[in-house]
Structure 1
Protein backbone atom coordinates (compact mmCIF):
# COMPACT_ATOMS: atom_id res chain seq x y z
CA UNK A 1 0.00 0.00 0.00
CA UNK A 2 3.07 2.25 -0.15
CA UNK A 3 1.74 4.16 -3.17
CA UNK A 4 -1.08 5.68 -1.14
CA UNK A 5 0.62 6.09 2.26
CA UNK A 6 1.80 9.65 1.67
CA UNK A 7 -1.66 10.67 0.45
CA UNK A 8 -3.35 9.10 3.46
CA UNK A 9 -1.05 10.98 5.83
CA UNK A 10 -2.45 14.27 4.47
CA UNK A 11 -5.97 13.46 5.68
CA UNK A 12 -6.24 15.20 9.04
CA UNK A 13 -9.46 13.59 10.27
CA UNK A 14 -8.53 10.10 11.47
CA UNK A 15 -11.99 8.69 10.71
CA UNK A 16 -11.86 10.01 7.15
CA UNK A 17 -8.33 8.67 6.78
CA UNK A 18 -9.29 5.17 7.95
CA UNK A 19 -12.40 5.04 5.72
CA UNK A 20 -10.35 6.14 2.72
CA UNK A 21 -7.64 3.62 3.52
CA UNK A 22 -10.31 0.92 3.88
CA UNK A 23 -11.69 1.43 0.37
CA UNK A 24 -8.23 1.73 -1.21
CA UNK A 25 -7.11 -1.50 0.47
CA UNK A 26 -10.31 -3.25 -0.56
CA UNK A 27 -9.75 -2.33 -4.21
CA UNK A 28 -6.06 -3.29 -4.03
CA UNK A 29 -6.97 -6.71 -2.66
CA UNK A 30 -9.93 -7.30 -5.00
CA UNK A 31 -8.12 -6.00 -8.12
CA UNK A 32 -4.41 -6.71 -7.71
CA UNK A 33 -3.95 -6.30 -11.47
CA UNK A 34 -4.81 -2.59 -11.30
CA UNK A 35 -2.01 -0.06 -10.93
CA UNK A 36 -2.06 2.29 -7.96
CA UNK A 37 -1.18 5.87 -8.82
CA UNK A 38 -1.29 9.36 -7.39
CA UNK A 39 -2.11 11.97 -10.01
CA UNK A 40 -3.33 15.50 -9.37
CA UNK A 41 -2.81 14.76 -5.65
CA UNK A 42 -5.50 12.06 -5.76
CA UNK A 43 -5.32 8.27 -5.45
CA UNK A 44 -6.49 6.36 -8.47
CA UNK A 45 -6.38 2.99 -10.12
CA UNK A 46 -5.42 2.44 -13.75
CA UNK A 47 -5.29 -0.46 -16.17
CA UNK A 48 -2.99 -0.52 -19.21
CA UNK A 49 -2.37 3.22 -18.66
CA UNK A 50 -6.04 4.10 -18.76
CA UNK A 51 -8.02 5.53 -15.87
CA UNK A 52 -10.42 3.19 -14.06
CA UNK A 53 -11.46 4.95 -10.83
CA UNK A 54 -10.18 7.68 -8.53
CA UNK A 55 -10.97 9.28 -5.19
CA UNK A 56 -10.74 12.60 -3.44
CA UNK A 57 -11.47 13.68 0.11
CA UNK A 58 -13.54 16.63 1.24
CA UNK A 59 -14.84 17.77 4.60
CA UNK A 60 -18.26 16.16 4.12
CA UNK A 61 -17.67 13.20 1.84
CA UNK A 62 -15.41 10.82 -0.05
CA UNK A 63 -15.70 11.54 -3.77
CA UNK A 64 -15.61 8.56 -6.11
CA UNK A 65 -14.82 9.37 -9.73
CA UNK A 66 -15.57 6.58 -12.21
CA UNK A 67 -15.90 8.99 -15.18
CA UNK A 68 -19.26 10.09 -16.54
CA UNK A 69 -19.90 6.82 -18.40
CA UNK A 70 -19.74 4.85 -15.17
CA UNK A 71 -22.11 7.23 -13.40
CA UNK A 72 -24.55 7.10 -16.31
CA UNK A 73 -24.42 3.30 -16.41
CA UNK A 74 -25.29 2.91 -12.70
CA UNK A 75 -27.29 6.06 -12.02
CA UNK A 76 -30.29 4.24 -10.52
CA UNK A 77 -28.07 2.25 -8.15
CA UNK A 78 -26.17 5.39 -7.12
CA UNK A 79 -29.46 7.05 -6.21
CA UNK A 80 -30.74 3.89 -4.45
CA UNK A 81 -27.56 3.83 -2.36
CA UNK A 82 -28.46 7.34 -1.19
CA UNK A 83 -25.42 9.00 -2.74
CA UNK A 84 -25.43 12.46 -4.25
CA UNK A 85 -23.63 12.83 -7.58
CA UNK A 86 -22.59 15.17 -10.35
CA UNK A 87 -21.72 14.26 -13.95
CA UNK A 88 -18.23 13.20 -12.85
CA UNK A 89 -18.29 12.21 -9.14
CA UNK A 90 -20.30 10.28 -6.60
CA UNK A 91 -20.33 11.70 -3.07
CA UNK A 92 -20.29 9.16 -0.25
CA UNK A 93 -20.95 11.02 3.01
CA UNK A 94 -18.57 10.09 5.81
CA UNK A 95 -21.56 8.96 7.85
CA UNK A 96 -22.83 6.55 5.15
CA UNK A 97 -21.81 2.97 4.55
CA UNK A 98 -19.71 2.27 1.48
CA UNK A 99 -21.71 0.23 -1.03
CA UNK A 100 -18.90 -2.08 -2.11
CA UNK A 101 -21.09 -3.93 -4.60
CA UNK A 102 -21.66 -0.61 -6.40
CA UNK A 103 -17.92 0.20 -6.33
CA UNK A 104 -17.25 -3.26 -7.76
CA UNK A 105 -19.77 -2.71 -10.57
CA UNK A 106 -18.22 0.66 -11.43
CA UNK A 107 -14.72 -0.82 -11.57
CA UNK A 108 -15.78 -3.90 -13.55
CA UNK A 109 -17.68 -1.71 -16.01
CA UNK A 110 -14.68 0.53 -16.60
CA UNK A 111 -12.26 -2.38 -16.95
CA UNK A 112 -14.49 -3.98 -19.59
CA UNK A 113 -15.65 -0.80 -21.30
CA UNK A 114 -12.12 0.58 -21.56
CA UNK A 115 -10.38 -2.68 -22.48
CA UNK A 116 -9.46 -1.32 -25.92
CA UNK A 117 -8.99 2.29 -24.76
CA UNK A 118 -5.61 3.72 -25.70
CA UNK A 119 -5.97 7.03 -23.86
CA UNK A 120 -6.02 7.88 -20.15
CA UNK A 121 -9.55 9.35 -20.26
CA UNK A 122 -12.44 8.28 -22.47
Structure 2
Protein backbone atom coordinates (compact mmCIF):
# COMPACT_ATOMS: atom_id res chain seq x y z
CA UNK A 1 0.00 0.00 0.00
CA UNK A 2 1.60 3.16 -1.22
CA UNK A 3 -0.02 5.35 1.45
CA UNK A 4 1.87 3.47 4.17
CA UNK A 5 5.22 2.91 2.42
CA UNK A 6 7.17 5.54 4.36
CA UNK A 7 5.66 4.43 7.67
CA UNK A 8 6.51 0.80 6.97
CA UNK A 9 10.07 1.76 6.01
CA UNK A 10 10.45 3.23 9.50
CA UNK A 11 9.73 -0.09 11.26
CA UNK A 12 13.18 -1.41 12.08
CA UNK A 13 12.28 -4.94 13.12
CA UNK A 14 11.67 -6.99 9.94
CA UNK A 15 9.29 -9.40 11.72
CA UNK A 16 7.21 -6.53 13.06
CA UNK A 17 7.16 -4.86 9.66
CA UNK A 18 6.00 -8.11 8.04
CA UNK A 19 3.20 -8.45 10.59
CA UNK A 20 2.07 -4.86 10.03
CA UNK A 21 2.13 -5.33 6.24
CA UNK A 22 0.12 -8.54 6.65
CA UNK A 23 -2.50 -6.81 8.81
CA UNK A 24 -2.81 -3.85 6.43
CA UNK A 25 -3.16 -6.19 3.44
CA UNK A 26 -5.82 -8.17 5.30
CA UNK A 27 -7.80 -5.00 6.07
CA UNK A 28 -7.60 -3.86 2.45
CA UNK A 29 -8.69 -7.28 1.16
CA UNK A 30 -11.51 -7.72 3.70
CA UNK A 31 -12.74 -4.12 3.47
CA UNK A 32 -11.83 -2.84 -0.02
CA UNK A 33 -14.09 0.19 0.40
CA UNK A 34 -11.84 1.60 3.13
CA UNK A 35 -9.25 4.19 2.17
CA UNK A 36 -5.71 3.90 3.60
CA UNK A 37 -4.43 7.19 4.97
CA UNK A 38 -1.42 8.37 6.96
CA UNK A 39 -2.28 11.23 9.33
CA UNK A 40 -0.47 12.37 12.47
CA UNK A 41 2.13 9.71 11.52
CA UNK A 42 -0.54 7.08 12.20
CA UNK A 43 -1.64 4.65 9.52
CA UNK A 44 -5.40 4.44 9.44
CA UNK A 45 -8.33 3.45 7.29
CA UNK A 46 -11.23 5.79 6.61
CA UNK A 47 -14.68 5.53 5.10
CA UNK A 48 -16.42 8.55 3.54
CA UNK A 49 -13.70 10.75 5.11
CA UNK A 50 -14.39 9.49 8.63
CA UNK A 51 -11.95 7.58 10.82
CA UNK A 52 -12.60 3.84 11.07
CA UNK A 53 -9.45 2.25 12.55
CA UNK A 54 -5.89 3.34 13.30
CA UNK A 55 -2.63 1.54 14.04
CA UNK A 56 0.70 2.17 15.69
CA UNK A 57 3.71 0.07 16.61
CA UNK A 58 6.05 -0.14 19.55
CA UNK A 59 8.76 -2.51 20.65
CA UNK A 60 6.32 -4.85 22.42
CA UNK A 61 3.11 -4.62 20.41
CA UNK A 62 1.02 -3.35 17.53
CA UNK A 63 -1.73 -1.07 18.79
CA UNK A 64 -5.15 -0.84 17.20
CA UNK A 65 -7.33 2.20 17.91
CA UNK A 66 -11.05 2.06 17.09
CA UNK A 67 -11.91 5.30 18.98
CA UNK A 68 -13.34 5.20 22.49
CA UNK A 69 -16.82 4.10 21.34
CA UNK A 70 -15.32 0.97 19.83
CA UNK A 71 -13.24 0.34 22.93
CA UNK A 72 -16.29 0.67 25.14
CA UNK A 73 -18.36 -1.61 22.91
CA UNK A 74 -15.73 -4.37 22.88
CA UNK A 75 -14.37 -3.90 26.44
CA UNK A 76 -15.48 -7.31 27.73
CA UNK A 77 -14.31 -9.15 24.62
CA UNK A 78 -10.91 -7.43 24.78
CA UNK A 79 -10.47 -8.50 28.41
CA UNK A 80 -11.68 -12.05 27.74
CA UNK A 81 -9.20 -12.37 24.87
CA UNK A 82 -6.39 -11.37 27.23
CA UNK A 83 -5.33 -8.24 25.35
CA UNK A 84 -3.70 -5.37 27.19
CA UNK A 85 -5.54 -2.11 26.51
CA UNK A 86 -6.19 1.50 27.43
CA UNK A 87 -9.33 3.61 27.00
CA UNK A 88 -8.25 4.36 23.42
CA UNK A 89 -6.43 1.30 22.04
CA UNK A 90 -5.83 -2.45 22.17
CA UNK A 91 -2.27 -3.79 22.30
CA UNK A 92 -1.71 -6.87 20.15
CA UNK A 93 1.54 -8.43 21.37
CA UNK A 94 4.07 -9.42 18.72
CA UNK A 95 4.59 -12.84 20.34
CA UNK A 96 0.94 -13.88 19.98
CA UNK A 97 -1.06 -14.68 16.83
CA UNK A 98 -2.86 -11.59 15.59
CA UNK A 99 -6.55 -11.48 16.59
CA UNK A 100 -8.15 -10.88 13.19
CA UNK A 101 -11.57 -11.82 14.55
CA UNK A 102 -11.58 -8.92 17.00
CA UNK A 103 -10.14 -6.53 14.43
CA UNK A 104 -12.87 -7.48 11.96
CA UNK A 105 -15.59 -6.86 14.55
CA UNK A 106 -14.13 -3.47 15.50
CA UNK A 107 -13.96 -2.36 11.86
CA UNK A 108 -17.48 -3.59 11.11
CA UNK A 109 -18.79 -1.84 14.22
CA UNK A 110 -17.22 1.48 13.20
CA UNK A 111 -18.39 1.24 9.60
CA UNK A 112 -21.95 0.64 10.76
CA UNK A 113 -21.89 3.02 13.73
CA UNK A 114 -20.36 5.87 11.71
CA UNK A 115 -22.38 5.35 8.51
CA UNK A 116 -24.07 8.73 8.94
CA UNK A 117 -21.12 10.48 10.58
CA UNK A 118 -20.13 13.70 8.81
CA UNK A 119 -16.98 14.40 10.87
CA UNK A 120 -13.62 12.64 10.96
CA UNK A 121 -13.88 11.80 14.68
CA UNK A 122 -17.05 11.10 16.64
CA UNK A 123 -18.35 14.11 18.51
Please give the range of the TM-score, normalised by the shorter of the 2 chains: over 0.9
List gaps (5 residues or longer) in structure 1: none
Secondary structure at the counterpart of residue 117 of structure 2: coil
Q: Hey, what does 1:79 align to over in structure 2?
A: 79
* Distance in 2 of aligned mates of 1:81 and 1:24: 21
Moved over 4 A (4+): none
Q: Hey, what does 1:42 align to over in structure 2?
A: 42
Q: Hey, what does 1:115 align to over in structure 2?
A: 115
Q: Hey, what does 2:14 align to over in structure 1?
A: 14
* Distance in 2 of aligned mates of 1:46 and 1:75: 22
Query: What is the TM-score of this pair, normalised by structure 2?
Result: 0.96
* Distance in 2 of aligned mates of 1:104 and 1:92: 14
Task: Give yes or no for contact 2:92–2:99 (8 Å, CA) kept in 1.
Answer: no
List gaps (5 residues or longer) in structure 2: none
Q: Hey, what does 1:33 align to over in structure 2?
A: 33
Number of residue pairs the alignment of both structures matches: 122
Are 2:11 and 1:5 aligned? no
Secondary structure at the counterpart of residue 11 of structure 1: coil
Q: What is the RMSD of the two structures over their aligned residues, measured on CA atoms?
A: 0.7
